[in-house]
């Protein structure tokens, strides 16, 4: 049997899974929507990966990252749980070891990671506003009646992008509606949106950062060729977009699972196992802790949120 390692990147919008061999080559992968149900999404993800994984492979490690990494790590008995900054950096460096800057724009947040000689020296995240994220782009595409898959291609056709104020989703939507009512062509409005996303990112997430090449762009928005174009124009740098840019966090955490492997094998057969989370408020003292209790087949396996350690 050949050893392999599973990385799961579970976010608010999408859930990604990658299985790597011992040389960090992708054996199989999957990308699907979280839909507000991380437990259900991971069950579906593992079902897909189980079908695609050749019988000659045995999973020897599982890592989880993303916003629901702790919950999912407990669910799959992961041997390592790490934050997205670390996972994205490790994944990127495995493909592009000379990387200095990582730009990442996901479904509901964005981040920048700076590296020197393969070591993280600085980073910043924006999680407070959806302006400039994948969900923002999707909602505007729907408003304009354009499939999100065609957004970037349409933006490239524009020679005069419309100026859109994208520092806030409310202002951006208002500005977009106003420009559409004035009769601007859709390609110019779309190009203006792509450019405004880049400016918003650089003025907020990238503010004060020493952005220099090699620059790798990842996350779902990296697939938008219009956004890539304006990053290159404004930064005057070549932007690298890997074919698996949307999976880089999962790749990174799979590599870490390999590096921290234990002497055990893992199964992906969790479809019929019941996982449930219940929130309660403890009133035993003035802290009034919000507790989250995790149950596996109706058996309590962990609880979080206790400040005094009682739980």
Q: What is the mean pLDDT of each run of 10 residues along the chain (311 residues)?
A: 94 91 95 88 93 93 92 89 94 96 86 94 77 70 77 82 71 72 80 85 86 92 89 94 93 96 85 78 78 78 72 62
Same fold? 2-90+250-259, 98-241: yes
Fold observed for domain 2-90+250-259: Nucleotidyltransferase; domain 5 (3.30.420)
CB of 178 within 8 A of CB of 164?
no
Q: Which residues contact 212 (CB under 8 A, 6 or more apart)?
A: 100, 101, 237
Position 252 scores a pLDDT of 96
Residue-level length of the chain? 311
DSSP code, position 63: E
CB of 60 within 8 A of CB of 4?
yes
Position 138 scores a pLDDT of 75
The domain segmentation of the chain, as residue ranges, is 2-90+250-259, 98-241, 275-304
Distance of alpha carbon 141 from alpha carbon 149, whole angstroms: 9
Angle, vertex CA 230, rays to CA 226 and CA 234, nearest 5: 175
Position 238 scores a pLDDT of 95
Distance of alpha carbon 286 from alpha carbon 15, whole angstroms: 38
Distance of alpha carbon 110 from alpha carbon 163, whole angstroms: 22
Distance of alpha carbon 202 from alpha carbon 200, whole angstroms: 6
The superfamily CATH assigns to domain 98-241 is ATPase, nucleotide binding domain (3.30.420.40)
Distance of alpha carbon 84 from alpha carbon 12, whole angstroms: 13
Half-sphere exposure at residue 19, Cβ-oriented, CA atoms within 13 angstroms: 24
CB of 290 within 8 A of CB of 311?
no
Query: How far from chain centre, in Å, is Cα 210?
Result: 23
């Amino acid at each position: 049997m050949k050893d392999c390692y599973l990385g799961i990147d579970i976010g608010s919008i999408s859930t990604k899974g990658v299985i790597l061999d011992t040389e960090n080559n992708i054996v199989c992968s999957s990308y699907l929507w979280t839909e507000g149900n991380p437990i259900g999404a991971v069950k579906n993800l593992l079902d897909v990966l189980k079908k695609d994984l050749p019988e000659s492979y045995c999973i020897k490690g599982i890592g989880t990252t993303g916003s629901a990494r702790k919950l999912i790590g407990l669910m799959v008995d992961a041997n390592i749980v790490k934050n997205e900054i670390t996972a994205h950096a490790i994944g990127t460096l495995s493909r592009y070891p000379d990387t200095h800057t990582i730009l990442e724009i996901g479904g509901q947040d964005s981040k920048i990671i700076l590296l020197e000689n393969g070591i993280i020296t600085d980073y910043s995240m924006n999680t407070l506003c959806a302006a400039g994220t994948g969900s923002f782009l999707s909602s505007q595409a729907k408003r304009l009646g354009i499939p999100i898959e065609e957004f970037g291609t349409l933006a490239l056709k524009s020679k005069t992008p419309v100026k859109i104020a994208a520092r806030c989703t409310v202002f951006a939507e208002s500005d977009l509606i106003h420009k559409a009512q004035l009769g601007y062509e859709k390609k110019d409005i779309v190009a203006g949106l792509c450019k405004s996303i880049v400016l918003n990112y650089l003025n907020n997430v990238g503010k004060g950062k020493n952005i220099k090449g090699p620059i790798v762009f990842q996350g779902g928005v990296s697939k938008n060729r219009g956004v890539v174009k304006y990053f290159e124009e404004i930064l005057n740098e070549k932007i690298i977009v890997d074919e698996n840019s949307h999976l880089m966090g999962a790749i990174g955490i799979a590599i870490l699972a390999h590096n921290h492997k234990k002497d055990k094998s893992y199964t992906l057969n969790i479809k019929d196992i019941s996982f449930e989370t219940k929130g309660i408020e403890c009133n035993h003292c003035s802290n009034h802790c919000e507790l989250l209790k995790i149950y596996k087949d109706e058996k309590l396996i962990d609880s979080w949120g206790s400040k005094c350690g009682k739980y």
